[in-house]
A and B are shown apart, each in its own frame.
Chain A
Amino acid sequence: EAGVAQSPRYKIIEKRQSVAFWCNPISGHATLYWYQQILGQGPKLLIQFQNNGVVDDSQLPKDRFSAERLKGVDSTLKIQPAKLEDSAVYLCASSLDWPTPNNEQFFGPGTRLTVL
């Protein structure tokens, strides 16, 4: 079974530039998550999709971050414009069913973003 794919693995940009990350979840997984992990902190959920609908985006900074999951499969996360504090690892995860707290989440390798 192929795992969760993410690209790019690394990205370096200047502040005020834009950046986009891509995620392909495990085939058949209904729920997709985007997390932000800042160095020294735990992953923070940015947005959670069930198929192509948003379940929770309460912690997504909507003035600069956007995400979509067209057709309920692949997803993209965009930052426009980037700030220094956006430097982090962006993790994508997927799970098979409705996002109850006991569902196992399967993670991609993450994208390490550095904003200069």
Chain B
Amino acid sequence: ILNVEQSPQSLHVQEGDSTNFTCSFPSSNFYALHWYRWETAKSPEALFVMTLNGDEKKKGRISATLNTKEGYSYLYIKGSQPEDSATYLCAFGSSDSNYQLIWGAGTKLIIKP
């Protein structure tokens, strides 16, 4: 059974501070790793999709890294703002899972003003 773990489950961060959290996934049969942001009462939206070991992606103050050999990805937020408060989900795509993504339970980020 494929399993994706995210840690921590929740995180309170002071506005202006930087933070990061982890997504762990199986290190075999890797195809892709997705990060999504889900704000309360809104639709989940894609942040990044990464496919190569060592990939680093950046969008504004948010960046992500990927290590497929050891099975983890980090998401970094620099200078947290209140609008960053959301649940951050990662999803692992395997080359042998009939194309479906396996999702983590998310990290809930709360930015304290």
Contact = CB atoms under 8 A, between A and B. Distances in A.
A41 B105 CA distance: 4
B99 A100 contact: yes
Interface in B12-60: 31-32, 34, 36, 41-46, 49, 51
Given A3-B43, A101-B32, A110-B43, A56 B49 contact: no
A42 B44 contact: no
A43 interface: yes
A109 B41 contact: yes
Interface string A32-48: 00010000111111001
Nearest to B106: A42
Interface residues of A, number: 25
A91 interface: yes
Nearest to A102: B32
B98 to A, nearest CB: 5
Interface in A1-16: 3-4
B49 A102 contact: yes
A41 B104 CA distance: 7
Contacts of B43: 3-4, 106-110
A63 B56 CA distance: 44
B31 A104 contact: no
Nearest to A48: B100
Interface of B: 4, 31-32, 34, 36, 41-46, 49, 51, 89, 91, 93-95, 97-106
- 10 tightest Cβ-Cβ pairs between the two chains A and B: A101-B93, A42-B103, A102-B32, A101-B31, A107-B44, A107-B43, A101-B32, A99-B99, A43-B103, A42-B105
Interface of A: 3-4, 35, 40-45, 48, 55-56, 58, 91, 99-102, 104-110
5 contacts: A45-B101, A100-B93, A101-B97, A104-B46, A109-B42
Given A42-B105, A48-B99, A101-B31, 7 more contacts: A35-B103, A42-B104, A45-B100, A48-B100, A101-B32, A101-B93, A101-B95
